[in-house]
Amino acid sequence: MELSRRSFLAAMGLGTATVMAGCATTSGSGAPVADVTGPAEGDITFLCALFEGATGKETLEGNLLKQFKEKYPDVNVTVDYTDYASLNEKITTGLASGLMPDVVTLGVGWIPPFAFKNAIAPLPESLATRYTYEDRVLEPSRFDGTLYALPMVLDTRIVAYRKDFFEEAGIDGPPKDWAELREIAKQLTVRDADGTLQRAGFDPFSIDLRQCWETFLFGNSGELFSADGREVLFDSPEGVAALQLFLDMVADGSADFSLTTEAGQPTTLQQGTSAIMMTNNSLYVQLQQQNPELIDKIGTFVLGNTGPAMLQGGTMISQSASSKNPAAARALVEFLGSPDAVLVAAEQRGSVPAISDLLDSDYVQGNPMVAFALENLDKARSEGGTPAWMEIREKIKPTLETAIVGQQTAQQAIAQLAGIADDAIARL
């Protein structure tokens, strides 16, 4: 069930006045600010969607939290590990039950929904200038101009290609726009004598279709929502064209919707069944583990049509607005957002550290795809931008797929999606 702010507070048995009464001050935007003037002490909980598996747990608890404990000996942190598939449900359940974790990890696009609900606490603006963040990295950490989170690690969507296939075909370099992409993809597509596809020129479907379409939308100078998050802007010629491009490439045989691979398995680029693909910067770690002989044959580029755009996902760290030990929670947020912790978190999972000064670190310099992403953060764009995002985001992929499989046109699919988004925003 989707909850408006009013119904959400009612469901929690709380009125607005009750929520405000638990807060000591307000931020510059008028948002409540938790009282963190006391000492950092007490028991806090950390809902964490990073540090997966036994290795991740050892990295967090055996390394980072051990350092945190040395700095803040009176703070005890209990970690609740989860994954992104369950993260939203866990937070929502915690809110409804009044047991919101003191510190939470959130995805890009998630800050406006949870800040709108007063679920997370504003952070002082001084934290935004403490380290070297690109402006576009901090954009998804804000709501109504107020900082609510610190970015930890980024996961960018980039374009990767097989240099050896390009050389065999006599292609000098990556495409500069969509027209060149289509021509190169056709040239690189290989079929056998029976017409069966052996190699697709372009694989846009091996990453989430929502993220892929958003990348092309931004690269075509399109926007998802207005600056205040109250108006849908993606139902535009730019948004329709971004989806139509995929349909056109499927129609001309240079892309195939069925040509995808499961997470963790060798990608189509590794298998040689695609020549260009949309991918994540973590591909480099996968190459090291599965196909080190291909590392020198894989190149990357940022693609756009009217301008370059690289989708920026990632994980941010926020403080609960209802923490009973806000000083301890704030201390953990600041610690996990510091360069040393960010670098450890990024290295553990092959992600991009959110702080530009880490470009010179051994980890970044040893991972060409992470370095490439960090060098191009000025082209990064983020999804989200409306308090209704958590409802809308789940509807984007299945709605776009109806056009890919021919159930409706690109124009119809985008119009349907816009209607869904309009309804969700109207319920705020």
Angstrom distance (rounded) from CA 112 to CA 115:
5
CATH number for the domain formed by residue range(s) 157-312+385-426: 3.40.190.10
pLDDT in tens, the chain (428 residues): 333 333 333 333 333 333 333 334 444 444 555 567 789 999 999 999 999 899 999 999 999 999 999 999 999 999 999 999 999 999 999 999 999 999 999 999 999 999 999 999 999 999 999 999 988 899 999 999 999 999 999 999 999 999 999 999 999 999 999 999 999 999 999 999 999 999 999 999 999 999 999 999 999 999 999 999 999 999 999 999 999 999 999 999 999 999 878 778 899 999 999 999 999 998 999 999 999 999 999 999 999 999 999 999 999 999 999 999 999 999 999 999 999 999 999 998 889 999 999 999 999 999 999 999 999 999 999 999 999 999 999 999 999 999 999 999 999 999 999 999 999 999 99
Place of tokens 């390009």: 166
β-strand 42-48 against 75-81: which pairing, if any?
parallel
Contact 317, 103 (CB under 8 A): yes
The CA distance from 190 to 199, in Å, is 5
The set of residues, in sequence order, having a beta carbon less than 8 Å from that of 243 and lying 6+ positions away, is: 213, 216, 400, 403, 410, 413, 414
Amino acid present at 301: F
Taking alpha carbons only, the member of 119, 101, 104, 84 closest to residue 3 is: 119
CA–CA separation, 19 and 12 (whole Å):
10
> Which residue's structure tokens are 């450890």?
344
The tokens for 424 are: 């969700």
* Topology match between the domains 42-155+313-378 and 157-312+385-426: yes
Identify the residue whose tokens are 């697709």.
200
Instruction: Give the fold, CATH level 3, of 42-155+313-378.
Output: D-Maltodextrin-Binding Protein; domain 2 (3.40.190)
- Alpha-carbon Rg for the chain, nearest whole angstrom, is 22
Q: How many residues does the chain have?
A: 428
Q: What are phi and psi of 94, to 5 degrees?
A: -60, -40
Residue 421, C-beta contacts closer than 8 angstroms, at least 6 positions apart: 225, 232, 234, 386, 388, 392, 395
Location of structure tokens 């992929």: 397
pLDDT of residue 11: 35
Give the distance, in angstroms, between the CA of residue 277 and the centroid of all CA atoms in the same chain: 18
Whose CA is closest to 44, among 315, 322, 344, 316?
322
Reference 189, options 265, 280, 251; nearest CA is: 251
Q: Domains of the chain: which residue ranges?
A: 42-155+313-378, 157-312+385-426
- pLDDT at 34 (0 to 100): 56
Phi (first) and psi of residue 409, to 5 degrees:
-75, 170
Residues 6+ positions from 21 with CB-CB distance below 8 Å: none
What does the block give as tokens for 111? 């800050």
Task: Specify whether the CB–CB gap between 300 and 160 falls below 8 A.
Answer: yes
Cα separation, 403 vs 148, in Å, equals 36
DSSP states along 330-348: HHHHHHHTSHHHHHHHHHH
DSSP 227-259: TTS-SB--SSHHHHHHHHHHHHHHHTTS--TT-
Two tokens at 42? Answer: 């007490």
Amino acid at 250: V
Strands (E), 174-322: 190-191, 197-199, 276-280, 298-301, 310-319
185-195: burial string, b at 16+ Cβ within 10 Å, e else: beebbeeeeee
Give the pair of three-digit tokens for residue 69. 């404990």
Element (H, E) at 153: strand 150-162
Rounded to whole angstroms, how far apart are CA atoms 373 and 363? 13
- DSSP labels for 203-223? B-SSS-HHHHHHHHHHHTT--
Task: Determine which helix (DSSP H) or strand (DSSP E) holds 86, and give its type and residue range.
Answer: helix 84-97
Query: At CA 413, angle to CA 412 and CA 416, rounded to 5?
Result: 85
What's the confidence (pLDDT) of residue 35? Answer: 61
pTM of the model: 0.89
